[in-house]
């Protein structure tokens, strides 16, 4: 699986402050139980839908699936921060909080939040050791919960007096005692300071060009870190008459007690002749973004790209490179993203973890059934991505040196656990034999005969023939079956004369053409 990273030489990375996210050439697929996974990344843990991943040494491993559903219209329905995680199921007005038991190293349910009368409860979430925040944009609310020694108690509801469709709470962040809340349909972001008596509004940021045509979606996504604030407006049109799409991310710095606009960035491409970055019209530029240290990554799931900007020594955000997915992993690429230190995590239907290259070893194995025949499409889980065996029953993967853990090999109702000691070099596992004989369906038809005529088909190893009904037939045969299926008739010949297999591994669809004998 290859990913392309374009434009890494646009500017010298050594000229930029900070050195993280310089190498994103290692891309690993991540498999979760959620169809469209939102993502969140911390230094030691990540959240992909309902799946916890954990960093061990120089690599990441699949840690624990959590008993929670993840759904919503935004890319901000999960958050993980140190030893706490929150997963929202906004389509069902619920969210669950989990905490890491540092003794057992298991994530345990700490709170099950449910607001049946608040449609969209959980469209955006945030959590840390002390506070959890849940956005309810269809009700213009942000609800805060306080950690009371492991018990999460509702603390406050931030409910400004806005138009019903303001979508206040569609995006939120909390940093250093400040709460940032987006209201995309009115193109505003509200900043609150946490005081003893509650959250106090200290600043309202309007889109810088209030006279421009509306619907810019300013505040659809936002991220804050330290004195920096990034706010996306993915419908910030590049022409006043909206004849060309745009999308901008507006960047603010805290000066005194206020955040001041410093710069806006757009999608870009690399000029092949000059090697310089040239601004282009985005499609959904800013559908999601992530700010970390001196890096800003902006997703555009319309262009299916992620754009990286780095902060220069002169405090200017400069276009650095464009990240595009492999052809088989383009769905929703750019809609769900997060970054931390040297890693970029993308979500959607094909979650992927990008990071620096690490030494790897090849792991290979073969899965057999109870009769010793190879099993096609057996599942091998335990790595970040699930593996599927090929027609020879074989799976192959490359994993980081020192990777260790358990693999669960499954086919139908049969499974087996395989323990892997730390990888030091390429490893071929002993054959994994499951106590199962998979059955494969054979379906087919015979054309050229009246629907009322039934034809018998002789099957090797079977005492009774199978008989067509209205020209169609089907049967189940065991994995590894060898032989032929031959239609018989006194008045018809058939092309082909038979179907044969030297070792059946999967469902087969076959057909015959009948012709009356002379």
**Cα 190 to Cα 267, 433, 435, distances in angstroms:** 26, 60, 60
217-253 residue pLDDT tens: 999 999 999 999 999 999 887 566 666 667 999 999 9
420-459 residue pLDDT tens: 999 999 999 999 999 999 999 999 999 999 989 999 999 9
Cα–Cα distance, 463 to 475 (Å, whole number): 13
Domain 360-433 and domain 439-516, same fold? Reply is: yes
118-146 residue pLDDT tens: 999 999 999 999 999 999 999 999 999 99
Mean per-residue pLDDT for 394-417? 95
13 or 437, greater pLDDT: 437
Whether the Cβ atoms of residue 456 and residue 467 lie closer than 8 Å to each other: yes
Mean per-residue pLDDT for 497-513? 95
pLDDT at 280 over 90: no
pLDDT for position 123: 96
Whether the Cβ atoms of residue 251 and residue 289 lie closer than 8 Å to each other: no
pLDDT for position 512: 97
The per-residue DSSP string of 392-446 comes to: TSEEEEEEETT--EEEEEEETTEEEEEEEPPP-S-EEPPPEE-S---EEEEEEEE
Token output for 373? 């025949």
pLDDT over 90 percentage in the chain: 81
DSSP letter (8 states) at residue 327: G
pLDDT for position 3: 41
Instruction: Determine how β-strand 94-101 pairs with β-strand 84-89.
Output: antiparallel
CB atoms within 10 A of CB 33: 15
pLDDT for position 328: 83
Identify the sign of the CA torsion 283, 286, 288, 294.
positive
pLDDT for position 210: 56
Cα–Cα distance, 38 to 89 (Å, whole number): 11
pLDDT for position 4: 41
329 or 383, greater pLDDT: 383
Cα–Cα distance, 230 to 502 (Å, whole number): 61
What 3-state DSSP class applies to 500? strand
User: What dihedral do alpha carbons 315, 316, 320, 324 form, nearest 10°?
Assistant: 110
Global confidence as pTM: 0.88
Mean per-residue pLDDT for 207-222? 77
CB atoms within 10 A of CB 361: 17
pLDDT at 2 over 60: no
pLDDT for position 209: 65
pLDDT-derived band at 270 (thresholds 50, 70, 90) equals confident
CATH number of 360-433: 2.60.40.4130
Whether the Cβ atoms of residue 353 and residue 383 lie closer than 8 Å to each other: no
pLDDT for position 8: 35
pLDDT for position 239: 61
Which of the residue ranges 72-81, 190-199, 241-250, 465-474 would you say has the lowest mean pLDDT?
241-250
pLDDT-derived band at 330 (thresholds 50, 70, 90) equals confident
73 or 221, greater pLDDT: 221
- List, in sequence order, every residue forming a beta bridge with 388; answer none if it has no partner: 379
In terms of Cβ atoms closer than 10 Å to its own Cβ (0-12, 13-18, 19+), residue 9 is: exposed
**In the Cβ-directed half-sphere of 18, how many Cα atoms lie within 13 Å?**
19
Whether the Cβ atoms of residue 47 and residue 33 lie closer than 8 Å to each other: no
Token output for 294? 């001196």
Indicate the domain borders of the chain: 4-355, 360-433, 439-516
pLDDT for position 21: 78
DSSP letter (8 states) at residue 429: P
CATH number of 439-516: 2.60.40.4130
- Residue 218: closest CA among 250, 259, 264: 250
Cα–Cα distance, 98 to 516 (Å, whole number): 71
Terminal Cα distance for the chain, rounded: 56
pLDDT-derived band at 327 (thresholds 50, 70, 90) equals confident
pLDDT for position 13: 35
**Cα 251 to Cα 22, 29, 182, distances in angstroms:** 21, 31, 14
Which of the residue ranges 11-20, 88-97, 210-219, 335-344 would you say has the lowest mean pLDDT?
11-20
pLDDT for position 9: 33
Cα–Cα distance, 200 to 194 (Å, whole number): 6
pLDDT for position 385: 92
pLDDT-derived band at 5 (thresholds 50, 70, 90) equals very low
pLDDT-derived band at 19 (thresholds 50, 70, 90) equals very low
Q: What residue has token string 């993203």?
A: 337
CATH number of 4-355: 2.130.10.10
pLDDT for position 212: 56
pLDDT-derived band at 20 (thresholds 50, 70, 90) equals low
pLDDT for position 398: 94
Cα–Cα distance, 275 to 151 (Å, whole number): 55
pLDDT at 381 over 50: yes
Cα–Cα distance, 286 to 358 (Å, whole number): 31
Cα–Cα distance, 177 to 193 (Å, whole number): 6
pLDDT over 70 percentage in the chain: 93
Q: Which helix (H) or strand (E) holds 155?
A: strand 151-158
Whether the Cβ atoms of residue 502 and residue 482 lie closer than 8 Å to each other: yes
Mean per-residue pLDDT for 384-410? 95
Which of the residue ranges 161-165, 269-273, 343-347 would you say has the lowest mean pLDDT?
269-273
Cα–Cα distance, 48 to 70 (Å, whole number): 9
pLDDT for position 281: 87
pLDDT for position 17: 37
pLDDT for position 10: 38
Compute the 3-state secondary structure of the chain and give helix, strand, coil in percent, each to the nearest 5. Answer: 5, 55, 45
Token output for 348? 């959607």
- List, in sequence order, every residue forming a beta bridge with 514; answer none if it has no partner: 494
């Amino acid at each position: 699986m290859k990913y392309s990273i374009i434009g890494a030489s646009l500017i010298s990375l050594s000229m930029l402050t900070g050195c993280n996210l310089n190498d994103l050439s290692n891309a690993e697929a991540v498999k979760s139980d959620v169809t469209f996974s939102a993502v969140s990344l911390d230094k030691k843990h990540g959240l992909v839908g309902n799946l916890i991943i954990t960093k061990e040494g120089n690599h990441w491993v699949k840690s624990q699936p959590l008993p929670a559903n993840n759904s919503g219209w935004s890319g901000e329905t999960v958050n993980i921060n140190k030893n706490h995680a929150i997963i929202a199921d906004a389509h069902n007005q619920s969210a669950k909080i989990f905490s890491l038991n540092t003794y057992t190293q298991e994530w345990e349910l700490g709170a099950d939040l449910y607001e049946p009368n608040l449609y969209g409860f959980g469209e955006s979430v945030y959590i840390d050791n002390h506070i959890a925040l849940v956005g309810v944009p269809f009700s213009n609310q942000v609800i805060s919960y306080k950690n009371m020694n492991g018990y999460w108690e509702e603390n406050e509801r931030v409910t400004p007096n806005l138009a019903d469709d303001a979508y206040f709470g569609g995006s939120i962040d909390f940093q250093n005692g400040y709460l940032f809340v987006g209201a995309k349909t009115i193109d505003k972001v509200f900043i609150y300071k946490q005081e003893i008596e509650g959250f106090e509004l200290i600043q309202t940021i309007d889109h810088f060009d209030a006279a421009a045509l509306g619907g810019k979606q300013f505040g659809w996504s936002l991220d804050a870190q330290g004195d920096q604030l990034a706010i996306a407006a993915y419908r910030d049109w590049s022409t006043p008459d909206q004849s060309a799409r745009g999308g901008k991310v507006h960047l603010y710095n805290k000066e005194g007690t206020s955040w001041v606009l410093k710069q806006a960035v757009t999608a870009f491409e690399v000029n092949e002749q000059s090697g310089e970055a040239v601004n282009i019209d985005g499609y959904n530029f800013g559908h999601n973004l992530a700010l970390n240290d001196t890096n800003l990554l902006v997703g555009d799931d319309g262009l299916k790209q992620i754009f990286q900007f780095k902060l220069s020594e002169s405090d200017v955000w400069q276009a650095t490179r464009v990240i595009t997915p492999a052809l088989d992993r383009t769905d929703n690429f750019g809609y769900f993203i997060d970054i931390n230190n040297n890693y970029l995590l993308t979500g959607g239907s094909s979650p992927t973890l990008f990071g620096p290259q690490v030494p790897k070893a090849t792991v290979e194995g073969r899965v057999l059934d109870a009769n010793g025949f190879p099993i096609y499409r057996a599942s091998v889980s335990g790595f970040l991505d699930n593996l599927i065996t090929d027609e020879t029953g074989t799976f192959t993967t490359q994993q980081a040196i020192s990777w260790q853990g358990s693999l669960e090999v499954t086919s139908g109702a049969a499974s087996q656990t395989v323990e892997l000691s730390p990888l030091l070099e390429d490893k071929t596992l002993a054959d994994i034999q499951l106590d199962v004989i998979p059955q494969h369906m054979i379906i087919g038809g015979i054309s050229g005969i009246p629907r009322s005529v039934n034809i018998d088909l002789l099957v090797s190893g079977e005492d009774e023939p199978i008989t067509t009904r209205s020209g169609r037939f089907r049967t189940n045969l065991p994995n590894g079956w060898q032989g032929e299926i031959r239609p018989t008739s006194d008045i018809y010949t058939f092309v082909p004369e038979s179907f044969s297999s030297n070792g059946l591994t999967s469902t087969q669809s076959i057909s015959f053409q009948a012709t009356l004998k002379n």
